[in-house]
Amino acid sequence: MNLHNPLPLKPATCHTPPPRVTLHHHLHPLNPTLIPLQSLHQILFAAMASGDQQFPPQKQERQPGKEHVMDPTPQFMNPNYKPADKLRGKVALVTGGDSGIGRAVCYCFAKEGATIAFTYVKGQEEKDAEDTIKIVKEAKTRGAKDPISIPTDLGYDANCKAVVDEVVGKYGRIDVLVNNAAEQYMCRTVEEIDENWLDRVFRTNIYSYFFVTRHALKHMKEGSSIINTTSVNAYKGNATLLDYTSTKGAIVSFIRGLALQLASKNIRVNGVAPGPVWTPLIPSSFHEEKTSKFGSECPMKRAAHPHEIAPSFVFLACDDSSYYTGQVLHPNGGMIVNDVDKSLKPSESRFDSDRSESRKLYKFDVLAISIATEKFCDANKIWQDQNGSMYKGMLQNGQKVAIKKLYGTIHEHIFSELLVKLEHEDLVQLLGYCLEKTASFLVYDFSLCKTLDQFIFDPIMCTLLDWNKRHEMILGVASALLYLHECGPTRIIHVDVRPENILFDENMDPKLSYVESEIYLAINGTDCINVDKICGTMGYMAPEYMVEGCLSPKVDVFGFGLLVLETISGQRNYTHFPMTNENFVQYVWKNWLKGTNSNITDPTIDVDTRMISRFIQIGLLCVQADETDRPTMHEVVGMLRSSSRQDLLLPKNPVSSWIMEEVSDYINATPDDYDPGAVKEFESELSPR
């Protein structure tokens, strides 16, 4: 595959690897994956059909991904493949030919007698490209010339022309062109895809097809073949690969239109639309859980290996397909792609508006809640803080639940008109609620019973959250807040972004807890409102909200910034540092300026210091005293997805020290340190003016 300027991807979760299946096998020196001598397809199906897990959980941090580090290595060769000299004497150019489908195509073409040239991404795919050269040299037949590999960035016309010129200069012509380069990135909403992101994906996935084709055509004669790799997603859609799916749909139209243009010249233009295929794009695009189950959704209950796709390219490249043009072959494991087929299932989306509209929340009575928790007995209490407590419980139908008890009431319209419509993969999924005069209860699935603060502030539990987990949590919370601010059915301010409101399920996947009071509600077209009563948690409230009652999305940005800094440091934001007589935020800011980030980083985190410095800088930008200096959550998500520090502004002096010091003193005080009158006086000073 071939791409340029790769985006950093969201890190993944850890899961238990599946049991390995022992097979009689032989090994290829450059493809050490087990290759059964008996029926490959039957064994693969038997090994995978026992459950959804297809592959060991794994994650690669950067696209286009590396084939040689995958487990298992994608199989590019089928030992039972019988070549028949179908491409003898032909010259083939394959873009993105170093790994995945491209490598399998190069191998099969070489076995069929073709001379091979392929492109790859310089620096990122050198090892895979070297391996593919060795594979093709071993596979090539007598009469075929030695293969060449060309490092390039295909997103630009001049580079594509240079590739074609090099191939023609070496071999004299091009008989078969395979446009195969691609990149993809997960997105939750279209609002996340900015101009640079979209431009990158379209340049690699569709611009390059135009550029390479228009230059190659000058050197292609009658009987030549152009084959373009599209995807099953072009037909069924994919909500979380919106940019990629759009380019794959464009490729289908490109195939049909170009075929009509070239039919009179007897140059055939066709395509291949694979279903799920085990290639480096998968672990470099998705989190570990999705990677481990990749392919389980198709009728054959497994992903293909590249060698199962390559024969489609051989057929379209050779004279056997002489009456095929404008067509697309579908090696996709049984997925039906006809537009009229009623069984076609749309790609699932956790933020689909129709699904969220139809979702129901159960309203429980207090008796059911009391029975479920055995009258709120201490044995069922999971945790408690100043705002509420969490209990484990069991409903009468046997379902295990986690029940959050909040001190105070919530208006019912919050649930009936708002929360029922919210649906995002990084937001907690509520099962139901119960409202009483003095308390409110939120009912979750029992898996959501651990909170972030139980991990990052505990000297033992903190070791369970490595940097990948913390990185994933930060990205997830940012995406959830962006959804609430800009992408949901109603614009919402959360107001209480803090570790206690980040819940983890049994797979250690983090979720942002829902808003829990009507004060957090819609802005209805204005960016800031003034409130008479403030809600939230002391220590996490933005100064303009705590002092002046000014409520805007920048309040959540402030809370998010504190969350980032706490997650990195493992320290509460109201921690006081007596050695320097500084509050938490001032201490972080000064150490970041000095470059002494080790003073403010949890020692259990093992990660590149440049990445830590970047995330600290983003956190400090979010906690700047003036809300107009803080970025929006849309901008924050963009910063988190980028890997360059050059695109970040320098943070100004963060929130005013006297506010943080007063808050720190207030939170850390014991009952003997103050009298009720002093507390009321302090709280009145912080009331909106």
Q: Which residues are catalytic?
A: 244
**What is the pairing mode between strands 550-551 and 529-530?**
antiparallel
Per the structure block, which two tokens stand in for 244? 């990629």
DSSP states of 595-636 as a string? T-GGGGS-TT----HHHHHHHHHHHHHHTBSSGGGSPPHHHH
Residues whose CB falls within 8 Å of the CB of residue 640, separated by 6 or more in sequence, listed in order: 474, 475, 478, 615, 618
- From residue 433, alpha-carbon distances to 395, 488, 560, 666, 678 in Å are 13, 21, 26, 32, 37
Q: Could you give the CA distance from residue 481 to residue 556 in angstroms, rounded to a whole number? A: 8
Length of the chain: 689
Q: Could you give the CA distance from residue 457 to residue 655 in angstroms, rounded to a whole number? A: 23
DSSP states of 102-169 as a string? HHHHHHHHHHTT-EEEEEE-TTTSHHHHHHHHHHHHHHPPTTPPPPEEEE--TTSHHHHHHHHHHHHH
Q: Could you give the CA distance from residue 36 to residue 28 in angstroms, rounded to a whole number? A: 11
Across 284-370, the runs of DSSP E, i.e. the strands, are: 328-329, 362-363
Cβ proximity of 520 and 532 under 8 Å: no
Number of H helices, E strands in the chain: 22, 22
DSSP states of 349-418 as a string? -TT-HHHHHH---EE--HHHHHHHTTTT-GGGEEEEETTEEEEEEE-TTS-EEEEEEEES---THIIIII
